[in-house]
Amino acid sequence: MQQPLFDLAPTLTVTQLARRIKDVVEDDATLRDLWVRGEVSNFTQAASGHLYFTLKDRDAAIRCVMWRSDAARVFKLPANGDAMEAHGRVSMYEARGDVQLYVDEIKLAGAGALWQEFERLRARLDAEGLFAAEHKRALPQFPRTIGVATSREGAVFHDICNVLSRRYPLVEILLAPTLVQGETAAPMIVGAIQTINQFDIDVLIVARGGGSIEDLWAFNEEIVARAIYDSHVPVISAVGHETDFTIADFVADVRAPTPSAAAELAVPDARELRAGVRFDQQQLARLTRDRIDAARVELSRQMYALQRNSPQARVENDRQRVDDLARRVAARAMQLLELKRGGLNGAARQLAALNPDATLARGYAIVREKKTGRVVKRTAKVRGKKDIQVRVSDGEFEARTNA
């Protein structure tokens, strides 16, 4: 009996089969170096930095892996729905049995390709110094004439004029009309910038409304960037909406999120200026009053000091001092005189008390020896018959003792 043919087929493990498939795929020279075109889906970036996504077309799909070292060279990472071309090699991830494209370079198509071109030009101009902060010029505080390079049609120029007339009616607006979209827009924008720089303007607004990257691409052209950089007056770039960025934004002196915002940046607000002037006037008036009051006080002080230091004032002051001293001397003299008078009166009273006449007036007498004139103080002095003189209050008389 003949043995079935399938019994002659080899038996492989899953791992062996996966490795055989991997060897076959990697031995194909075409699959080792190729470009694959498709649409991105299931895009993710792992915490490690590696990229995982799927490239698909209408009939098929293939898993893709891009390692972090290769992804770091990509200007703009793809997103779901982007059309792109991926370069790499085909191999197999044995753990899942997936045939994968290991990508080392990508080229975005459509908007993605424009973003790549945008990043390349931005990096080159940045390296040249066109975006350097030291080249940025300050906007004039009170511009007299503002140039606007934009389309004559549409709402952009109308919005700018409305804001300028409302905030600062004194400013003059000069329009340099140009296309802002399409293949011929970039040269026309350059011509508008160069032409308006020949007029006596103080600041230039380069503006257009929002749109896709394709719509705004004229403002990503190198010739427009260099025309803005070469402008003789400060340039405000107001291209697209707040989230839109163009090369013109980077090279301009000031970037505004919208054209209306550019007009607000270009001129001061007249109402705020008037309020500021009123405030300054009030402050000046207050300061003037304070200075006048201080000067008046200082003048009074100086006049008083001058009066005090004048010759007449010194004479009057010395005269008053002489009068004060005279009064003090007289008072002191009177005080001393009273003290002397009191002492004299006391001495007089003591003298009166000791005066013999006063004693005699009280009925006493002074007895003296007539021969010697000595005062008789004891009876022994006049024993026997002696002549004496007796003095009483109204005179003297002689007598003779008998004892």
**Domain holding 173: CATH number?**
3.40.50.261
Q: How far is the CA of 113 from the CAs of 140, 249, 292, in angstroms?
A: 39, 20, 73
Q: Which domain holds residue 367?
A: 358-400
More confidently predicted of 183 and 1: 183
More confidently predicted of 337 and 311: 337
Average pLDDT, the chain: 85
At 154 the pLDDT is: 82
- pLDDT class for 318, splitting at 50, 70, 90? confident
At 3 the pLDDT is: 58
Q: Which two tokens stand for residue 278?
A: 């009123």
Is 251 a member of any domain? yes
Taking Cα atoms as reference points, which of 150, 273, 278, 293 lies closest to residue 218?
Answer: 150
Is 207 a member of any domain? yes
At 310 the pLDDT is: 66
If one counts the domains in the chain, the total is: 3
Tell me, yes or no, whether 239 and 123 share the same domain.
yes
At 163 the pLDDT is: 95
At 385 the pLDDT is: 72
Q: How far is the CA of 186 from the CAs of 172, 212, 218, 226, in angstroms?
A: 26, 16, 5, 11
- pLDDT class for 112, splitting at 50, 70, 90? low
Beta-carbon contacts of 163 under 8 Å, excluding residues fewer than 6 positions away, are 260, 263, 264
- Over residues 14-21, mean pLDDT: 85
Is 363 a member of any domain? yes
CATH code for the domain of 25: 2.40.50.140
175/149 Cα distance (integer angstroms): 6
The model's pLDDT over 341-369, given as tens digits with 9 standing for 90+, comes to: 887 787 777 777 777 777 777 777 777 88
Tell me, yes or no, whether 91 and 128 share the same domain.
no
Q: Do 65 and 51 meet the contact criterion of CB atoms below 8 Å apart? A: yes
- Over residues 376-402, mean pLDDT: 76
More confidently predicted of 130 and 114: 130
123/229 Cα distance (integer angstroms): 16
- pLDDT class for 147, splitting at 50, 70, 90? very high
More confidently predicted of 276 and 36: 36
At 281 the pLDDT is: 85
Tell me, yes or no, whether 81 and 154 share the same domain.
no
Q: Is the pLDDT of residue 118 over 60?
A: yes
Tell me, yes or no, whether 168 and 260 share the same domain.
yes
Burial track 256-278 (b if 16+ CB lie within 10 A, e otherwise): bebbbbbbbbbbeeeeeeeeeee
At 104 the pLDDT is: 93
